[in-house]
Amino acid sequence: MPRTSPPPAGEPSAGPASRQPTPGLYVVATPIGHLGDLSPRAREVLAAADLVVCEDTRVTGRLLKTLGLKKRLRSYHEHNAARVRPAILAELARGAVVALVSDAGTPTIADPGYRLVREAHERGINVRPVPGPAALIAALSVAGLPTDRFFFQGFLPPRSARRRAVLAELARIPATLVFYEAPHRLEASLKDLEEVLGGAREAALLRELTKLHEECRRGTLAELRAAVEAAGPPRGELVVVVGPPTEDPPPATDEELEQALRQALAQGSLRDAVTAVARRLGLPRRQVYRHALALLDEDQRA
Ligand code: SAM
């Protein structure tokens, strides 16, 4: 039976046997900037792979070239995943060593791959991590904000109304929050972060981690928003880290309440929607119920 979990503590997992990977799906982290961050084991697995499943074959092709490797590549991304997954799983079932990589960092973290991993498990295929760089962990490690509890949001929705609704859900979580963000959206996102979470929350902006122009800027959300507004959109890749709440965030606006209710009402009963929204936004149930009835009434009249 294929092994789907790591060896028990104390059992050696390194040494000569690990040089020839057993058949299975290897989820291989690759550098987020600095090539020196590719682990020796990642290199070994890539060298032994019968197939490398990646996002962009040009990006992974360049990485393999720098490693002196020539491999069969198969692109796997959100637009073709459902179509190509069966062929990858069939190859795994025949006993291939398959490496899953993304353009940078750890596959499946704000990147494609989790369904492939899940379906491989469901078929009893050996699935192994080859851990390494991930922008969220690199960012947390240098942000100087509490790391005992953190919540990874990944990318926020691009539109402000939806983004604010998501932020309203996160505002009361007693943990550090981690966001990935695109440079052209940073200013708008920081504005919503400041307004929904409160400008006093400590935060850090990490840019181009492990690369030439690496930068860590720290301050309150209000200070970071003002700095970005003054300097214009930064270049490169970004992670925003926000420290846990130290005081109650500003109460949800009527607009946020309405957006949250509409979303919840589309998914379930009035009762469930009211309970979920009241809990999420920290509002009294009675207030949310009244607002929900007014919304439903308004919709009926329209
Ligand atoms: N799977 C990757 C990981 O493990 O971090 C993340 C992939 S996601 C599509 C790409 C986002 O990660 C970027 O938009 C940026 O927010 C963040 N990111 C990746 N590399 C980075 C770097 N060197 N510095 C800062 N952020 C980075």
d(C-alpha 105, C-alpha 271), whole Å: 42
pLDDT tens figures, 165-214: 999 999 999 999 999 999 999 999 999 999 999 999 999 999 999 999 99
Please report how many Cα atoms fall inside a 13 Å half-sphere around the Cα of residue 85, on the Cβ side.
17
Ligand 1: atom nearest CA of 106 is 4
d(C-alpha 190, C-alpha 240), whole Å: 9
The angle, 0 to 180 degrees and rounded to 10, between the axes of the packed helices 160-170 and 254-267 is: 90
Cα-to-centroid distance, 24 and ligand 1 (Å): 26
pTM of the model: 0.82
| Substitution candidate for ligand 1 out of 76, 117, 180 with most atoms within 8 A of CB | 180
Q: Is 209 in the pocket of ligand 1 (CB under 6 A)?
A: yes
Would the pLDDT of 5 be above 50? no
Residue 72: predicted pLDDT = 98
Q: Is 111 in the pocket of ligand 1 (CB under 6 A)?
A: yes
Ligand 1: atom nearest CA of 108 is 1
Q: Is 134 in the pocket of ligand 1 (CB under 6 A)?
A: yes
pLDDT tens figures, 216-258: 999 999 999 999 999 999 999 999 999 999 866 667 778 778 8
Residue 98: predicted pLDDT = 98
Ligand 1: atom nearest CA of 180 is 16
Q: Is 88 in the pocket of ligand 1 (CB under 6 A)?
A: no
Cα-to-centroid distance, 135 and ligand 1 (Å): 5
Q: Is 27 in the pocket of ligand 1 (CB under 6 A)?
A: no
Q: Is 221 in the pocket of ligand 1 (CB under 6 A)?
A: no
Identify the burial level of 1 via C-beta atoms within 10 angstroms of its C-beta, where 0-12 means exposed, 13-18 middle and 19 or more buried: exposed
Ligand 1: atom nearest CA of 102 is 1
Residue 219: which H helix or E strand, with range?
strand 215-220
pLDDT tens figures, 7-50: 455 455 554 445 689 999 999 999 999 999 999 999 999 999 99
Residue 211 and residue 182 in contact, taking contact as beta carbons nearer than 8 Å: no
**Cβ neighbour number for residue 201 with a 10 Å cutoff:** 23
Would the pLDDT of 153 be above 50? yes
| Substitution candidate for ligand 1 out of 237, 240, 241 with most atoms within 8 A of CB | 237
Query: Coil, helix or strand for 257?
Result: helix
d(C-alpha 173, C-alpha 142), whole Å: 21
Ligand 1: atom nearest CA of 210 is 23
| Substitution candidate for ligand 1 out of 117, 217, 239, 240 with most atoms within 8 A of CB | 239
**Cβ neighbour number for residue 98 with a 10 Å cutoff:** 26
